[in-house]
Structures are given as C-alpha cells and as structure tokens.
Amino acid sequence: MRKQASNSFYAYLRRDLLLSYRRLGEAASPLIFFVMASTLVPLGMTPDLASLAKIAPGIIWVLALLATMLSVGGLFAGDYQDGSLEQLLISPQILVMPVLGKVTAHWLITGLPLTLVSPLLGLMLSMPEAGYLPMMASLALGTACLSLLGAVGAALTVSLHKGGMLLALIVMPLYMPVIIFGGATVQYGIDGLIWTAPLAILGAMLAAAIALCPLAIASVLRLTSIN
Amino acid sequence: MNWVWFYRLGSPLWFYQTTTRWLPWLGLLAFILLTIGLVWGLGFAPQDAKQGNSFRIIYMHVPASFLALAGYFLMATAGAIGLIWKMKLSYMVMKAAAPIGAALTFLALFTGAVWGKPTWGSYWVWDARITSMLILLFLYFGVLALQYAFHNEEASNKASAILALIGTVNIPIIYKSVDWWYTLHQPSTIKLTSAPSMHPDMFQPLLVMILGFYCFYVVALCLFTRVEILRRERKTGWVGDLVGELNGSTEGKRQ
C-alpha cells in the first residue's frame, strides 16, 4: 500500500514535469513575469540605488508571491477540462499522494526557478550582499508554502470559468504570514541579525502545510469538482 | 443527553416558526440594551483623563470587534456542521453570517480609524491588531466572493464551508505572525490597544453594549437566515402557504 502511494506520487510528479517540459514557453512565464515586473519598480518609483536597496527585499518577495499566485491557477484547470481529474478522483488511490506530486511539480517549475533567479533581481535592485543567502533560503521554503496554499485555492475554484481573480481573493489572506516571515528573513540578514530564526518559522509553516494542505486539497477536489 | 433539539434544527420550517415567535422579544431586548448602553456610555460615563470624550467610541468599537471575530468562528462552525451532518439549515446560517460579519469587521475598522485620528494623529496605523482585523475582513471577502461564484448551490455551500474552515486554522497563525511582524517594525506610535484596566464606571456601560451587540447580532443573523430559508425553500408547500397568507391579508386590508 505504501509503495503504491509513493508510486502515484512519483507518477504525477513525472507527468506534470513532462507536460511542462513539452510546453516550455508556458512553464517559463512565471519566471519572465518575475523579472519583468521587477523592472516596473525603478521605472515607477526612482532609479536611485540607495532607496531601491531599502525596499528590494519586500519587492522581491511580493513579486515572487504574485508570480506563484498567477501560475497556481492552472494547476488543476487543464486536468479538469480534459477529464483526467475526474479519472484521478474515481481511481482507487489515496488522493493525497497524486495531489502532493502535482504540487511538488508546480514548485519545481515555478518556486525553484524563482529562487535561483532572485539574486539577479537583488543585483538589479542593489540589495545589500548580506541579504542574498537569506533571500534564497527563504524563497525556497516560502514558495513551497505558497504553492501548497495556492493549490487549495486552485482546487476551490477549479470548476469556475473565471476563477483567476477569485483565486487571488481567496489565497492572498492565507499568504500573509508567509510573506511576513519571508521578508523578515531577508531583512534580518541585511541587518546582521540571526536570520535563521524567522527562517525556522517559515520551515515550520512549510512542514504544517505539507501535512495539512494535500488533505484539504483532496477533500476540496472531491466536493467541488462535481459542479 | 437528549439530542432532539439538534435533530429539530435540521428542519428550516421549525427554525422559521420558532424564530417568528421569539424574534420580536429578542429584538426588543437588543433595542433596550443598546439604548441603555449608548445613553449611559455616551452621556453619563466619566470622561477619560487623557483622551477626553473621544474615548467614547469604544462603546461601538469593542463590541463590533468582538462580534467580528466571534462571527467568523460561528460561520466556520456552521459550515463544519453542514459538512459533517449535511444539515441544510447550517449552510443557510453560514451564508447569512458572512455579510453580517464583514459589515461588523468594517465597522470595527472604521470606528478604530475615527478613534485613531484624535488619539494617534492618523486614521491608519499598521498596528498588529488593526492589520489582523484587516486580514479578517479579507477572509470574509474571500468567503463572500466564493459563495456567489458558484451556480450550483451544493458546490457553493461546500466550497465556502471549507474555505471558512481553512480560514479558522489560519486566524491564529495570522494573528500571531502579524503580532510578531509588528514588534519587528517597531513603529513610533504609542500603543493604545494594550488594554488599560478600565474604571468600573466606564466598564459597566461597555458590558451592556457588548450584551446588546450580541443580541443584535443574533437578531440580524436570524433575519438574514430567514430570508435565505424563504429563498431556498421557495418551492416547498409551507412557503407557498405563507406567501399566500401574506397576500391574502394585504388584499383584505385593501378592501
């Protein structure tokens, strides 16, 4: 039973990664959004490096949050439209593992690239050097949290035609603790404080989210996709 | 323990008839309590030593904040009962609780802003409590938006019940993290919300106001739920009879 469960996890992880590999342009769009939107900040505010450096951690975190939120809406939409979600629901499996596999794939496609690209943005916004490591660490843990929480919203809105804006409304309040501790980690790093403390809380939130969110997503999918 | 009352709650008709009987009395009680509390609090309670008369908005602010939070938990509990026991009525209560709760949260934020101007010198401060109330308002908005997004009533009920429950799990986390975040930022403003031990003369009218607000909340919730009952049960016989009766009586008056 346990082996079967982990098999379904890897099967869905592999499937979603393969699907996004076949459509690389679509998979890369959150990343491009992340970099593009960061250009708006100096254009809209000021090109002055000193003031940009001050707000850089917050800007990068907000943009990472938005990029994840925009991309998470499609997590179940394709499967819902082509009927494979229904097949998954009626299959004699524990729904939790395939769901976790799909969310993990989503993080590997969006969260991880965002984390890897974030130093570039830090450079462009002249963020102090001490912030780079905390930023990457907090983004790695935080975007995984965001993917999991966002997937709950995606499951809730999967059967709606125009779910995009609604998803944002539902998910944003849930994202607020993540951005608080994510931003705090980077700020602590820059200020020379012990930044592993807020990072640890972020890790605790991720642990709780990994345990609880797939359960919530599975039950939501069972209830709402019948619409 | 006798559980008959619980099963009875499953019937919207029973709820409708019972509330028809005692709602006027509860409404009267709410009116009396609110009148006493307002007159006592606004007119007779002593002035605050530092804030003068501006502190009197507390008599609206605190009860509204209480019920804004309590209303969210009530909404989530009603949703959970609906999910577990598939009770029609509890979904109706959940749906009725959302707009009332959102309105009360807004009232709490609004009175807080009005209060903040004379005491802190600005309408809005990113204080931990204010921010978490704002997030609570957003959570209410999410539930409201989700309720109206579905065409299928069943799906709408279940989805918003689950969202309300997820919000309940998140409220303590949000509250704690905002609290922590606030201490991180260390703003220059004075923290007013650290509850000072109030003088009994000031506290007693507040207690009356809180009780009055609770009664008012129950009245409002029942009224909203009754409307929802009539809307959802409009195809049943008893609603038809009720509407027929009402039409008959107004026609009788005309003649």
Residue A74: the pLDDT is 85
Q: How many domains does chain B have?
A: 1
For B95-147, write each residue's pLDDT tens digit.
999 999 999 999 999 998 888 888 878 888 887 788 888 999 999 999 999 98
Other beta carbons within 10 angstroms of residue B207's beta carbon come to: 13
Chain B residues in contact with A212 by the CB 8 A cut-off are 169
Q: Is residue B3 assigned to a domain? A: no
What's the gap in Å between the CA of A67 and the closest CA on chain B?
20
Q: What is the pLDDT along chain A (227 residues), one digit of tens a residue?
A: 567 777 888 989 999 999 999 988 888 899 999 999 999 989 998 888 999 999 999 999 999 999 999 999 889 988 888 888 888 888 877 889 999 999 999 999 999 999 999 999 999 999 999 999 999 999 999 999 999 999 999 999 888 877 778 999 999 999 999 999 999 999 999 998 899 999 999 999 999 999 999 999 998 898 876 65
- Range(s) of the domain holding residue B81: 24-189+199-238
For residue A194, which residues of chain B lie inside 8 Å, CB to CB?
none
Cβ pair A169:B149 closer than 8 A = no
Give the whole-angstrom CA distance, residue A212 versus residue A215.
Answer: 5
| Residue B107 falls inside a structural domain | yes
pLDDT at A26 (0 to 100)? 83
8 Å CB contact of A159 and B155 = yes
Answer whether residue B246 is part of any domain.
no
Tell me the nearest-neighbour CA distance from A197 into chain B, angstroms: 12
- ipTM > 0.85, yes or no: yes
Assigned domain for B227 exists: yes
Tell me the CATH number at B39: 1.20.120
Find the CB nearest A170 among B142, B155, B184. Answer: B142
What is d(CA B52, CA A161) in angstroms, rounded to the nearest whole number?
A: 54
Inter-chain Cβ pairs, chain A and chain B, closer than 8 A = 73
Q: CA of B64, closest CA in chain A: separation in Å? A: 21
CB contact under 8 A, A172 and B138: yes
* Res B255: pLDDT: 45
User: Could you give the CA distance from residue A53 to residue B227 in angstroms, rounded to a whole number?
Assistant: 55
Quick check: B222 pLDDT over 90? yes
- Distance in angstroms (rounded) separating the CA atoms of residues A122 and A59: 10
B16 occurs within a structural domain: no
User: Residues B154-192: pLDDT tens digits?
Assistant: 888 989 999 999 888 888 887 777 777 776 655 544 444
B115: nearest Cα among B48, B205, B46: B48
Q: B174–A156: do the CB atoms touch at under 8 Å?
A: no
Residue B70 lies in a domain: yes
Q: Does residue B180 belong to any structural domain of this protein?
A: yes
Is residue B175 a part of any domain in this protein?
A: yes
Which residue from A197, A74, A64 is spatially nearest to A120, judged by alpha carbons? Answer: A64
Q: What is the mean pLDDT of residues B46-51?
A: 75
